[in-house]
């Protein structure tokens, strides 16, 4: 007869108690990639409610995985991963690699959340490859609902990459027109930019130099490296972009 006390105190069981509640691993992944503010976490993880996110952050703080830092002068609160949470980084990455190889990830692409995928792009632009000036990209996803088709990315030298969900009014340097599933297909390494352009499933209109160098400044998912070797530039993704699929 099995000893239930062994199961109760099994370290794997204890880890499951901490990490198993829904959204917990995605929150830890986003914190590990530098997302630290409440509203940014909400935007990066589609489907989570403000109350549940607050609850999960409180639980992680109680477990010693998250530190809460308040800036009273600027009325800002940041959530930062502790050393224990950072130790989970390679484990979470290994979970993603396992799912990429075995869980039929490509089949979930049509059900991805477009705003989350675009929000993740702020971490997927290699600014060092781009010209030293302001650059504005407009992404258009014709397969999405009318209100969710157009997004703008603004890059300024020395500043953060900004994602705009409404037209900021700047001149656009490069228009990128493609279905969301096509973007995610080459982002995750199932296809290539060159192939999608050649098949007319992706159109690049505007600055020719930016168009020609897109495979240099647009960083792919780290999971794509398992399928496409040679390009060492990688971009993290939490998996939240495809959270609607399952």
Say whether pTM exceeds 0.75. no
Give the confidence band of 153 by pLDDT, cuts at 50, 70, 90.
Answer: very high
| Cα–Cα distances in angstroms (integers) from residue 133 to residues 108, 130, 162, 172, 215, in the given order | 37, 8, 14, 13, 19
> Average of pLDDT values for 211-228?
81
Query: In the predicted model, what is the mean pLDDT of residues 89-106?
Result: 79
10/148: higher pLDDT? 148
Residue 172 has pLDDT above 50, yes or no: yes
> What integer is the mean pLDDT of 231-235?
49
Task: Give the Cα separation of 35 and 123 in Å (integer).
Answer: 10
Domain residues of the chain, as ranges? 4-87, 109-245
pLDDT at 158: 87
User: Each residue of 106-148: pLDDT tens digit?
Assistant: 565 656 789 989 988 888 999 999 999 999 999 999 999 999 9
Output Rg (C-alpha) for the chain, integer angstroms. 20
Least confident of 37-41, 52-56, 235-239: 235-239
pLDDT confidence of residue 1? 41
Burial 121-135 (b: 16+ CB within 10 A, else e): beebbebeebeeeeb
Domain 109-245: CATH superfamily, name plus number: SCP2 sterol-binding domain (3.30.1050.10)
Handedness of CA 51, 152, 115, 31 (dihedral sign): negative
Residues making up the chain, counted from first to last: 246
> Highest mean pLDDT: which of 33-47, 88-102, 131-145, 222-236?
131-145
Average pLDDT over residues 59-68: 96
Contacts of 41 (CB under 8 A, 6+ apart): 27, 30, 31, 35, 53, 57, 79
Q: 4-87 — its CATH code?
A: 1.10.10.10
């Amino acid at each position: 007869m099995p000893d239930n006390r062994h199961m109760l105190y099994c370290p794997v069981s204890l880890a499951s108690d901490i990490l198993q509640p829904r959204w917990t691993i995605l929150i830890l992944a986003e914190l590990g990639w530098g997302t630290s503010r409440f509203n940014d976490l909400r935007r990066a993880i589609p489907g989570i409610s403000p109350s549940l996110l607050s609850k999960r952050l409180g639980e992680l703080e109680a477990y010693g995985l998250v530190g809460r830092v308040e800036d009273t002068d600027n009325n800002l609160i940041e959530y930062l991963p502790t050393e224990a949470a950072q130790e989970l980084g390679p484990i979470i990455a290994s979970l993603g690699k396992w799912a990429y190889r075995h869980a039929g990830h490509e089949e979930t692409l049509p059900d991805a959340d477009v705003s989350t995928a675009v929000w993740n792009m702020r971490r997927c632009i290699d600014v060092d490859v781009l010209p030293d000036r302001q650059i504005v990209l407009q992404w258009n996803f014709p397969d999405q609902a009318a209100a969710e088709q157009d997004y703008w990315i603004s890059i300024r030298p020395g500043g953060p990459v900004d994602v705009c969900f409404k037209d900021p009014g700047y001149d656009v340097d490069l228009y990128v027109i493609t279905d969301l599933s096509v973007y995610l297909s080459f982002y995750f390494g199932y296809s290539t930019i060159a192939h999608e352009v050649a098949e007319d499933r992706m159109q690049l209109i505007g600055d020719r130099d930016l168009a020609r160098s897109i495979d240099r400044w647009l960083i792919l998912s780290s999971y794509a490296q398992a399928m496409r070797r040679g390009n060492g530039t990688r971009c993290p993704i939490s998996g939240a972009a495809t959270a609607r699929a399952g």
